[in-house]
Amino acid sequence: MDLLLAIDQGTTSTRSILHGPDLAPRASAQLALPQHFPAPGWVEHEPEDIWTATLSTMRDALAQGGATAKDLAGIGITNQRETTLLWDRRSGRAIHRAIVWQDRRTAPHCARLAAEGAGRLIAERSGLLPDPYFSATKLAWLLDNVGGARAAAERGDLAFGTVDSFLLWRLTGGRVHATDATNAARTMLFDIRRGCWDDDLLKLFGIPAAVLPEVRDNAAEFGSTEPGLLGAAVPVRGMAGDQHAAMLGQACFAPGMVKSTYGTGCFLLLNTGDVAVPSKNRLLTTLAWQLGGQRTYALEGAIFIAGAAVQWLRDGLGIIQDAAESGRLAAQADPAQAVYFVPAFTGLGAPHWDAAARGAIFGLTRNTGPAEICRAALEAVAFQTRDLVEAMQADWGDQAQTVLRVDGGMTASDYAMQALADLLGAPVDRPEVQETTALGAAYLAGLQAGLLPPPGPAVAHWRLDRRFQPAMPRAEADRRHAGWQDAVRRVLT
């Protein structure tokens, strides 16, 4: 019983990866997750799609690895954060589709909160900003817009959770309603310094405490799966939001270390140790992880659209057949054309936090073609990353390390990673194991099972694949970044 199974439930896919006791991946299975867009700016997932894909990939990963449930020391869960579900405690069925973190339907609610001065309380307690990105206003929307939901919630008939809680409920047959500290920290309802749900925030958003899950450490005993699901009961021993799991997978254990994950969006986290650093540059103060009751904090910058921009080039514009083609085309772009693509499809995240901003492409000429647009899409990720790094340096000072550890689907593109190093003006390190989110979830389960040591220098699961060194003259990178900032100003509302 020394194998570890990681569930990585993301925005566009669900995967399960079987890891050995050394955290080396042994087998994996993945299924795409359908997206639903019922109105402009609205993004939803079908909860049953999430559950069936999770169960299917778990079984497939075990089968491909030649393993059974009895070989598992534990399961780790990592998930798309902030995505909000509300389900009936008796049936386990959600009363509405999951409202995805990208969803902007509650922007007017957040604007009212900001206008009323609630932003200060929200920031002081949760470390977050009043934005539709987070779970609180999504949950309030469900309570107010699904018939009978509020009354049922106040009676204790409904359970709220992010995806981790929903999966845990299903895996344990409804016996456990819990979450971990990192996912709780993304709801806008949790006091990150005291480590508990906050009564003032619950009152502000009109949330009955009866719907809330219990909050546990990231490595903890979360209950065991129903025996019939995998053939035997397996303990769930680790849970973390995807970006926090990736930080553990990247072994960013020392204060000042920085990681950035490039998936649907981009999320850059800076380890600030045991100090919750208030941001003066509209970044988020959040938990990195909580182990043994001890909290480690991070500064975070969130970019809503990263890999999703490449997906749009493929599915929306139809100018590429697959994601890998974007780098090949970008390398052929005319260097004389200054084309900028601001991918504000669902507003802009840090450091702007403009929910009403919308995407635009600037600098088009008669000579502009797919190559230039592809280059602009990939460079947009680099420019947004630079904006976040500069904000973090302003908040944290020179202690922030200049090496960026990266992971996620986009990091497979050498072109994109070189552009990132060039425009950032700093080395970019790509690890051998790029599925660091699942790696972090497996690490937490292994830590709780006693197979792996606590975070520190002794944890040597991280290995470098390639370091991308900046090759572009700094003056050229600065000039192009200034052009990007001008483009962003044009879409801000």
pLDDT at residue 305 in the model: 84
pLDDT at residue 401 in the model: 58
Residue 450 CB burial class (10 angstroms; 0-12, 13-18, ≥19): exposed
For residues 411 and 434, the answer to whether their CB atoms sit within 8 Å is: yes
pLDDT at residue 460 in the model: 67
Cross-strand bridge partners of residue 340: 362
Cα–Cα dist 454/270, whole Å:
19
pLDDT at residue 480 in the model: 93
pLDDT at residue 399 in the model: 55
Cα–Cα dist 33/167, whole Å:
15
Largest CA distance in the chain: 64
Centre a 10 Å sphere on the Cβ of residue 490 and count the other Cβ atoms it contains. 11
Instruction: Collapse the DSSP code of 17 into the 3-class scheme (helix H, G, I; strand E, B; otherwise coil) and give the result.
Output: strand
Residue 410 CB burial class (10 angstroms; 0-12, 13-18, ≥19): buried
What stretches in the chain show pLDDT beneath 70?
398-401, 457-460
Helix axis angle, 163-171 to 47-64, nearest 10°: 60
Q: How far apart are the first and last CA of the chain?
A: 55
Cα–Cα dist 21/221, whole Å:
18
Tell me: the pLDDT tens digits for 368-405?
Answer: 999 999 999 999 999 999 999 888 888 887 655 578 89
pLDDT at residue 457 in the model: 58
pLDDT at residue 459 in the model: 62
Q: Which residue has the tokens 């669900």?
A: 14
pLDDT at residue 356 in the model: 82
For residues 287 and 296, the answer to whether their CB atoms sit within 8 Å is: yes
Helix axis angle, 370-396 to 414-424, nearest 10°: 50
Full-model pTM: 0.87
Cross-strand bridge partners of residue 99: 44, 84
pLDDT at residue 282 in the model: 85
